[in-house]
A = this chain, B = another copy of it.
Amino acid sequence: MSLINRIKHLDEGFERIRKAVPELPEDAKLCRLLLLVGERLQAEFESKLRPYKLNDSEFRTLVMLFSQPDGSSTPGELCEFTSQGATNMTRIANALAKRGLITRGHNITDRRQVVMQITAAGRRFVQKMLPGMMPSLRLTFAEFTQSDRNQFSKLMRKLAKNLTQLEHEAGDPP
Protein backbone atom coordinates (compact mmCIF):
# COMPACT_ATOMS: atom_id res chain seq x y z
CA MET A 1 0.00 0.00 0.00
CA SER A 2 1.46 3.32 -1.05
CA LEU A 3 2.39 5.99 1.43
CA ILE A 4 -0.34 8.24 0.10
CA ASN A 5 -2.94 5.57 0.61
CA ARG A 6 -1.71 4.84 4.09
CA ILE A 7 -2.16 8.49 4.91
CA LYS A 8 -5.65 8.45 3.48
CA HIS A 9 -6.31 5.43 5.64
CA LEU A 10 -4.90 7.30 8.62
CA ASP A 11 -7.17 10.25 7.98
CA GLU A 12 -10.21 8.01 7.98
CA GLY A 13 -9.19 5.91 10.95
CA PHE A 14 -8.26 8.95 12.98
CA GLU A 15 -11.75 10.36 12.65
CA ARG A 16 -13.24 7.17 14.04
CA ILE A 17 -10.77 7.15 16.92
CA ARG A 18 -11.68 10.72 17.79
CA LYS A 19 -15.27 9.60 18.09
CA ALA A 20 -14.24 7.23 20.85
CA VAL A 21 -11.47 9.35 22.43
CA PRO A 22 -12.45 12.98 21.90
CA GLU A 23 -9.58 14.29 24.03
CA LEU A 24 -7.11 13.04 21.44
CA PRO A 25 -5.46 16.19 20.06
CA GLU A 26 -5.05 16.82 16.38
CA ASP A 27 -1.31 16.73 17.03
CA ALA A 28 -1.49 12.98 17.35
CA LYS A 29 -2.15 12.84 13.66
CA LEU A 30 0.74 15.17 12.85
CA CYS A 31 2.88 12.88 14.88
CA ARG A 32 1.82 9.81 12.95
CA LEU A 33 2.32 11.71 9.71
CA LEU A 34 5.88 12.49 10.62
CA LEU A 35 6.57 8.93 11.66
CA LEU A 36 5.10 7.49 8.48
CA VAL A 37 7.13 9.79 6.28
CA GLY A 38 10.23 9.23 8.37
CA GLU A 39 9.96 5.46 8.11
CA ARG A 40 9.58 5.63 4.39
CA LEU A 41 12.51 7.97 4.03
CA GLN A 42 14.63 5.75 6.19
CA ALA A 43 13.72 2.74 4.07
CA GLU A 44 14.73 4.67 0.98
CA PHE A 45 18.14 5.34 2.47
CA GLU A 46 18.72 1.81 3.51
CA SER A 47 17.83 0.53 0.08
CA LYS A 48 20.55 2.74 -1.35
CA LEU A 49 23.03 1.38 1.14
CA ARG A 50 22.18 -2.29 0.80
CA PRO A 51 24.07 -2.90 -2.45
CA TYR A 52 27.21 -1.71 -0.70
CA LYS A 53 26.67 -4.09 2.21
CA LEU A 54 26.70 -1.27 4.71
CA ASN A 55 23.94 -0.73 7.18
CA ASP A 56 22.63 2.59 8.30
CA SER A 57 24.58 2.97 11.52
CA GLU A 58 27.81 2.01 9.83
CA PHE A 59 27.30 4.56 7.09
CA ARG A 60 26.26 7.26 9.51
CA THR A 61 29.32 6.64 11.59
CA LEU A 62 31.50 6.84 8.51
CA VAL A 63 29.89 10.10 7.42
CA MET A 64 30.34 11.41 10.93
CA LEU A 65 34.06 10.82 10.60
CA PHE A 66 34.05 12.33 7.14
CA SER A 67 32.50 15.44 8.58
CA GLN A 68 35.02 15.84 11.38
CA PRO A 69 37.62 18.52 10.70
CA ASP A 70 40.46 16.00 10.90
CA GLY A 71 38.48 12.97 9.80
CA SER A 72 38.89 11.24 13.11
CA SER A 73 37.15 10.69 16.40
CA THR A 74 37.00 8.22 19.26
CA PRO A 75 34.43 5.50 19.93
CA GLY A 76 33.29 7.35 23.03
CA GLU A 77 32.62 10.54 21.14
CA LEU A 78 30.86 8.73 18.34
CA CYS A 79 28.66 6.98 20.86
CA GLU A 80 27.48 10.37 22.00
CA PHE A 81 26.96 11.76 18.54
CA THR A 82 25.05 8.77 17.28
CA SER A 83 23.29 7.65 20.47
CA GLN A 84 24.76 4.22 20.12
CA GLY A 85 25.96 2.00 22.90
CA ALA A 86 29.65 1.24 23.27
CA THR A 87 29.10 -2.38 22.34
CA ASN A 88 27.58 -1.39 19.06
CA MET A 89 30.28 1.11 18.31
CA THR A 90 32.92 -1.56 18.67
CA ARG A 91 31.04 -3.73 16.24
CA ILE A 92 30.64 -0.83 13.80
CA ALA A 93 34.33 0.03 14.05
CA ASN A 94 35.19 -3.61 13.37
CA ALA A 95 33.05 -3.61 10.25
CA LEU A 96 34.42 -0.35 8.91
CA ALA A 97 38.00 -1.27 9.68
CA LYS A 98 37.68 -4.67 8.05
CA ARG A 99 36.60 -2.95 4.85
CA GLY A 100 39.48 -0.53 4.99
CA LEU A 101 37.23 2.50 5.33
CA ILE A 102 38.77 3.50 8.64
CA THR A 103 41.87 2.73 10.64
CA ARG A 104 42.13 2.30 14.36
CA GLY A 105 45.03 3.52 16.38
CA HIS A 106 45.73 4.85 19.83
CA ASN A 107 45.74 8.41 20.98
CA ILE A 108 49.34 9.28 21.75
CA THR A 109 48.63 11.43 24.75
CA ASP A 110 46.07 9.04 26.22
CA ARG A 111 46.61 5.51 25.10
CA ARG A 112 43.30 4.35 26.52
CA GLN A 113 41.52 6.14 23.74
CA VAL A 114 41.14 4.54 20.37
CA VAL A 115 41.12 6.95 17.47
CA MET A 116 39.14 6.00 14.46
CA GLN A 117 40.39 7.71 11.35
CA ILE A 118 38.69 7.70 7.99
CA THR A 119 40.99 6.47 5.23
CA ALA A 120 41.35 7.81 1.70
CA ALA A 121 39.26 4.86 0.57
CA GLY A 122 36.66 5.80 3.14
CA ARG A 123 36.51 9.33 1.81
CA ARG A 124 36.21 8.11 -1.73
CA PHE A 125 33.43 5.77 -0.66
CA VAL A 126 31.42 8.57 0.92
CA GLN A 127 31.98 10.80 -2.07
CA LYS A 128 30.75 8.06 -4.34
CA MET A 129 27.74 7.20 -2.17
CA LEU A 130 26.34 10.65 -1.55
CA PRO A 131 25.61 11.50 -5.18
CA GLY A 132 23.81 8.17 -5.53
CA MET A 133 21.36 9.43 -2.97
CA MET A 134 20.78 12.70 -4.75
CA PRO A 135 18.21 11.59 -7.31
CA SER A 136 15.75 10.30 -4.76
CA LEU A 137 16.55 13.26 -2.55
CA ARG A 138 15.69 15.67 -5.32
CA LEU A 139 12.51 13.80 -6.09
CA THR A 140 11.52 13.67 -2.45
CA PHE A 141 11.80 17.40 -2.09
CA ALA A 142 10.47 18.17 -5.53
CA GLU A 143 8.20 21.20 -5.73
CA PHE A 144 9.54 22.53 -2.46
CA THR A 145 9.87 26.26 -2.67
CA GLN A 146 12.55 28.05 -0.74
CA SER A 147 9.86 29.16 1.65
CA ASP A 148 8.77 25.53 2.09
CA ARG A 149 12.32 24.62 2.98
CA ASN A 150 12.58 27.39 5.51
CA GLN A 151 9.26 26.46 7.07
CA PHE A 152 10.28 22.84 7.19
CA SER A 153 13.56 23.59 8.87
CA LYS A 154 11.88 25.91 11.32
CA LEU A 155 9.21 23.40 12.30
CA MET A 156 11.67 20.55 12.72
CA ARG A 157 13.84 22.68 14.95
CA LYS A 158 10.87 23.69 17.01
CA LEU A 159 9.98 20.05 17.47
CA ALA A 160 13.57 19.30 18.37
CA LYS A 161 13.58 22.03 20.96
CA ASN A 162 10.42 20.71 22.57
CA LEU A 163 11.61 17.12 22.47
CA THR A 164 14.86 18.13 24.11
CA GLN A 165 12.92 19.79 26.89
CA LEU A 166 10.91 16.60 27.23
CA GLU A 167 14.13 14.65 27.66
CA HIS A 168 15.21 16.85 30.50
CA GLU A 169 11.90 16.83 32.30
CA ALA A 170 12.04 13.06 32.09
CA GLY A 171 14.28 13.17 35.15
CA ASP A 172 11.49 11.51 37.12
CA PRO A 173 9.69 14.16 39.14
CA PRO A 174 8.70 13.37 42.77
| A37 to B41 CA separation, bound complex (whole angstroms) | 13
A167 touches B137 (CB 8 A): no
Q: How far is the CB of A27 from chain B (nearest CB, A)?
A: 4
A4 touches B161 (CB 8 A): yes
Interface size on A, residues (CB 8 A): 80
Q: How far is the CB of A13 from chain B (nearest CB, A)?
A: 3
Chain B contacts for A25, CB-based, 8 A: 134, 137-138, 141
Contact status of A33 and B156, CB under 8 A, knowing A134-B23, A137-B25:
yes
One of B12, B24, B140, B167 near A159 (C-beta < 8 A): B140
B37 touches A67 (CB 8 A): no
Q: Which of A85-93, A96-104, A106-114, A146-154 contacts B (4 or more CB under 8 A)?
A: A146-154
B-contact 0/1 string along A37-80, CB 8 Å cutoff: 11111101100000000000000000110111100000000001
- Assuming A24-B134, A34-B152, what are 12 further A-B pairs, CB within 8 angstroms? A4-B164, A6-B83, A13-B64, A17-B67, A28-B130, A30-B152, A30-B156, A37-B159, A44-B166, A141-B159, A144-B158, A155-B155
A-B contact pairs, 10 of them (CB 8 A): A3-B164, A13-B64, A21-B127, A23-B134, A27-B140, A33-B156, A34-B38, A34-B41, A35-B41, A151-B155
Q: Which 5 residue pairs are nearest across A and B when measured between Cβ atoms?
A: A38-B38, A13-B67, A27-B141, A33-B156, A4-B164
